[in-house]
Amino acid sequence: MPDPTPTRDQILDASEALFARQGFRSTTIKEIASEAGVNSALLYYYFEDKETLYKAMLSRLIEGLVSSIADRIQGVTDPEEGIRQFAAAQAETILARPLLPRLILRELLDHDARHAHEPLSIAVGRGLVPLAHLIEAGQRAGNFRRDVNPHFAAISIVSQLMYFFVARPAVAVLLDTGSGPIPPDTVRAFARHAGDFAVKALSI
């Protein structure tokens, strides 16, 4: 039997593409196996059924995003730097996994996060809560406005990068980047803008 880790990742990679394009209900196990270049029986060796595979795919995406953010902001005590690092981590993760925003949006809209409740809860605890704490620290230090709800501000910061990718067709027209993926340099430039924009909006 092939080395299990690459094969499992191969199946998850194939499922990302199909679930992003077709959604959960319209995607079949047979299509995923074909896209992954494996036998359907091997797919069932790793995953009990389509729903188990779908949940594993979402968990891998969300946990990867959360780990990237947590690594970037861990130990950062300066709120302004923490916000900028948060935005940068989002950008780098989505550049590596460009289907992530679409898949999360599909899950939220189509299933009310039923398949991703646990990883999203972890994401809030390891991503949004620390971000809100950084904002609160800036408020206590007298550098950030106290009339801003730190939880609302955290949601706003996260939303900037997510919208940038979800609205790619409109963004591409506005930025005149063509019909393909938005260039990585442009993504990173926007992440820097998003961090600066958030800091300036919060600053006194």
Residue 9: partners with Cβ closer than 8 Å, 6 or more residues away: none
Check residue 102 and give its pLDDT.
Answer: 92
DSSP one-letter code for 36: H
> Of 8, 117, 112, whose CA–CA distance to 58 is shortest?
117
Cα–Cα distances in angstroms (integers) from residue 93 to residues 66, 106, 162, 179, in the given order:
9, 18, 11, 21
**Backbone CA torsion sign across 120, 118, 132, 108:** positive
Check residue 30 and give its pLDDT.
Answer: 94
Check residue 138 and give its pLDDT.
Answer: 97
- Terminal alpha carbon distance of the chain: 61
Q: What string of pLDDT tens digits covers the 204 residues of the chain?
A: 445 556 899 999 999 999 999 999 999 999 999 999 999 998 999 999 999 999 999 999 999 999 999 999 988 999 999 999 999 999 999 999 999 999 999 999 999 999 999 999 999 999 999 999 999 999 999 999 999 999 999 999 999 999 999 999 999 999 999 888 899 999 999 999 999 999 999 999
Check residue 74 and give its pLDDT.
Answer: 87
Check residue 180 and give its pLDDT.
Answer: 84
**Alpha-helix runs per DSSP H in 48-183:** 50-73, 79-96, 100-111, 117-123, 129-140, 150-166, 168-175
Rounded CA gap, 16 and 18, in Å?
Answer: 6
Check residue 134 and give its pLDDT.
Answer: 96
